């Protein structure tokens, strides 16, 4: 099995279909044991891990398997139950844990699941740390003696601790009284926390996607399908809608007319606001190669910079930490504000947006249309395990030809997803006819190969 375990970690931990390699109970146990050994090198007692999860049915299986793996290496396990991913990062620090684990496949459907690791500083692990844990999985880990096995304990107030931290990010005394807010929790990890926090801050709350059954996470709701939330905003005459994904580390904002704003528009608002307040460190926003060219032009007009990274919020955070920046994120809705959190936090970003509405007295529609986007087209091509469509000579020739056609009139980005067996074909150009032709031809070429 060792060969199959090469490249175990993707761009956001280990992810796949539940009960199918690598997302099996056996692998979760081995991952727990390997991570336990990695973070408990000194062999001393008292080491601990916090484990959170979203609302997928398979979360029970992986929670138990990880607990067994960690306990077998002498780690004490603190079980948070369903909490947002950023809560795990926060509680790893506040509970003085050596490692944090989130069991979630984020925005993916219920049949997928994943395992993400956080270090004692609350940040996601580096490639080097993940590679070392992968090596320990392959080679196996010696369990501790019977008297040194770790204990497990339920922590019932984790979401309340997280909620209090979130509320503290707003200015002292500021309330959301007078705002009618639709909150879509994607039937996921924030289905209780998000409505509670908004209500406690004074908002009139209209919750949707708050009835998880183990199967309906991200199903026709949440940040990846905003139709229900947009319809609810309009039907109830709400001021704004906040759409989270299954583990609540992403957000989309819906204005009072039902128009959806993605991460680029939200980041543009936050960057300008923080710069005016003298709080934007380094005069820059960190985002990925997927962010719209219009965002880059908008920031330049404000005298700010856009620092681009490869796709993945962990790479955004790595660049932020290396450069001393405090705002970053992805077009998909990961918004990272390291003044408050160690990873993308959809509910935190939603609260900061509501705070901007209160401060400015402006409507959501006025705050979410910061710049004109350059036309962008993204299409996905699914391939089977083991296939390498981007290595095919015909595909490489088609990519080279597409880049030549777009030269001076746009840009092209083609990459494999780090979380699903997909090739993502994205292009930007102000010539929409050219844009459609280039993407369509490339997708057809890749489909022919797979």
Q: What is the pLDDT of residues 75-102, one digit of tens each?
A: 999 999 999 999 999 999 999 999 999 9
Say if CB 263 and CB 330 are below 8 A apart.
yes
- Quick check: 269 pLDDT over 90? yes
> 43: pLDDT confidence band, cut at 50, 70 and 90?
low
User: Look-up: residue for tokens 């994205």?
Assistant: 426
The segment(s) of the chain belonging to CATH 3.40.120.10 are 3-156, 170-373
Give the active site residue among 58, 106, 223, 332.
Answer: 106
The segment(s) of the chain belonging to CATH 3.30.310.50 are 376-449
Q: Tell me the H-state helices in 168-278.
A: 193-200, 227-236, 263-276
Model pLDDT for residues 216-255, shown as the tens digit of each residue: 999 999 999 999 999 999 999 999 999 999 999 999 999 9
User: Look-up: residue for tokens 């970003």?
Assistant: 349
> 4: pLDDT confidence band, cut at 50, 70 and 90?
very low
Angle between helices 263-276 and 346-360 (to 10 degrees): 50
Does the domain formed by 3-156 have CATH 3.40.120.10? yes
Q: How many residues does the chain have?
A: 450
What's the gap between Cα 366 and its chain centre? 26
- List, in sequence order, every residue forming a beta bridge with 118; answer none if it has no partner: 100, 124
Cα 75 to Cα 44, 48, 152, 184: the distances in Å are 10, 5, 9, 36
Does the domain formed by 170-373 have CATH 3.40.120.10? yes
Say if CB 155 and CB 191 are below 8 A apart.
no
Say if CB 306 and CB 299 are below 8 A apart.
yes
CA-closest candidate to residue 250, choices 171, 326, 188:
188
DSSP-derived 3-state class of residue 433: helix
Model pLDDT for residues 277-324, shown as the tens digit of each residue: 999 999 999 999 999 999 999 999 999 999 999 988 889 999 999 999
What pTM was estimated for this model as a whole?
Answer: 0.90
**What local confidence, expressed as pLDDT, does residue 153 receive?**
97
Tell me the C-alpha distance between 335 and 357, whole Å. 18
106 in catalytic set: yes
> 3: pLDDT confidence band, cut at 50, 70 and 90?
very low
Quote the mean pLDDT of the chain.
Answer: 94
Q: Which superfamily is assigned to 376-449 in CATH? A: Alpha-D-phosphohexomutase, C-terminal domain (3.30.310.50)
Model pLDDT for residues 399-437, shown as the tens digit of each residue: 999 999 998 888 999 988 877 789 999 999 999 999 999
**What local confidence, expressed as pLDDT, does residue 6 receive?**
58
Model pLDDT for residues 369-391, shown as the tens digit of each residue: 999 999 999 999 999 878 899 99
Model pLDDT for residues 178-205, shown as the tens digit of each residue: 999 999 999 999 999 999 999 999 999 9
């Amino acid at each position: 099995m060792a060969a199959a375990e090469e490249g175990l970690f993707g761009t956001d931990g280990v992810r796949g279909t539940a009960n199918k390699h690598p997302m099996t109970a056996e692998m979760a146990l081995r991952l727990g044991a390997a991570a336990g050994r990695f973070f408990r090198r000194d062999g001393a007692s008292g080491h601990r891990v916090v484990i959170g999860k979203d609302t997928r049915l398979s979360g029970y299986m992986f929670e138990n398997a990880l607990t067994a793996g960690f306990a077998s290496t002498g780690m004490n396990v603190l079980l948070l139950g369903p909490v947002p991913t950023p809560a795990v990062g926060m509680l790893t620090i506040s509970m003085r844990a050596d490692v944090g684990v989130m069991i979630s496949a984020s925005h993916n459907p219920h049949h997928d699941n994943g395992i993400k690791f956080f270090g004692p500083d609350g940040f996601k692990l580096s490639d080097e740390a993940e590679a070392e844990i992968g090596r320990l999985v392959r080679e196996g880990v010696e369990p501790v003696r019977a008297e040194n096995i770790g204990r497990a304990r339920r922590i019932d107030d984790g979401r309340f601790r997280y909620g209090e931290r979130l509320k503290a990010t707003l200015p002292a005394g500021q309330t959301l009284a007078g705002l009618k807010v639709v909150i879509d929790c994607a039937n996921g990890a924030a289905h209780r926390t998000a409505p509670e926090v908004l209500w406690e801050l004074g908002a009139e709350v209209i919750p949707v996607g708050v009835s998880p059954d183990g199967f309906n996470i991200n199903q026709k709701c949440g940040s990846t399908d905003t139709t229900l939330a947009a319809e609810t905003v309009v039907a109830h005459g709400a001021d704004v809608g906040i759409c989270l994904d299954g583990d609540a580390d992403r957000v989309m904002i819906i204005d009072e007319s039902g128009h959806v704003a993605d991460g680029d528009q939200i980041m543009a608002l936050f960057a300008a606001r923080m710069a005016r307040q003298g709080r934007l460190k380094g005069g820059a926003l960190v985002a990925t190669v997927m962010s719209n060219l219009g965002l880059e032009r908008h920031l330049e007009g404000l005298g700010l910079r856009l620092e681009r990274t490869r796709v993945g919020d962990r790479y955004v955070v790595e660049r932020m930490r290396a450069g001393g920046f405090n705002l970053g994120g992805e077009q998909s809705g990961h918004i990272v504000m390291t003044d408050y959190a160690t990873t993308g936090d959809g509910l935190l970003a939603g609260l900061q947006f509501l705070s901007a509405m209160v401060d400015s007295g402006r409507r959501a529609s006025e705050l979410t249309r910061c710049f004109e986007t350059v036309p962008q087209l993204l299409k996905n091509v699914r391939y089977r395990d083991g296939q390498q469509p981007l290595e095919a000579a015909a595909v490489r020739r088609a990519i080279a030809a597409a880049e030549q056609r777009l030269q001076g009139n746009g840009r092209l980005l083609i990459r494999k997803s780090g979380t699903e067996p997909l090739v993502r074909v994205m292009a930007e150009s102000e010539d929409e006819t050219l844009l459609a032709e280039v993407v369509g031809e490339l997708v057809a070429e890749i489909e022919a190969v797979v």
